[in-house]
Amino acid sequence: VAERLPINVPGRYYVDGTCIDCGLCPQLAPGLFARDDAGATSYVARQPETEEEEAMAREALESCPTETIGND
């Protein structure tokens, strides 16, 4: 939580400063996660609103190779 990136939208899911910008989370959950080319990182662009989106966000969290995605 301490390394939570300020570019994330407010809410439960977030990306922290350990992101290596592999691009996996925007690929698994497009619209929820996006890439910030200027910052060379991914971030949460929108929090999930439906069960399907929640499942996509959870898959991204569980698949992240650096365990960068949090859901507090």
Contact of 2 with 30, CB cutoff 8 Å: no
pTM over 0.85: yes
Question: To which residue do tokens 């190779």 refer?
Answer: 65
What pLDDT sits at residue 2? 78
Residues 37-62, mean pLDDT to the nearest whole number? 96
Q: pLDDT, tens digit, for every residue of 4-49? A: 999 999 999 999 999 999 999 999 999 999 999 888 999 999 999 9
Residue 49: its pLDDT value, please?
A: 98
Q: Which residues contact 62 (CB under 8 A, 6 or more apart)?
A: none
Whether 69 has a pLDDT exceeding 90, the answer reads yes
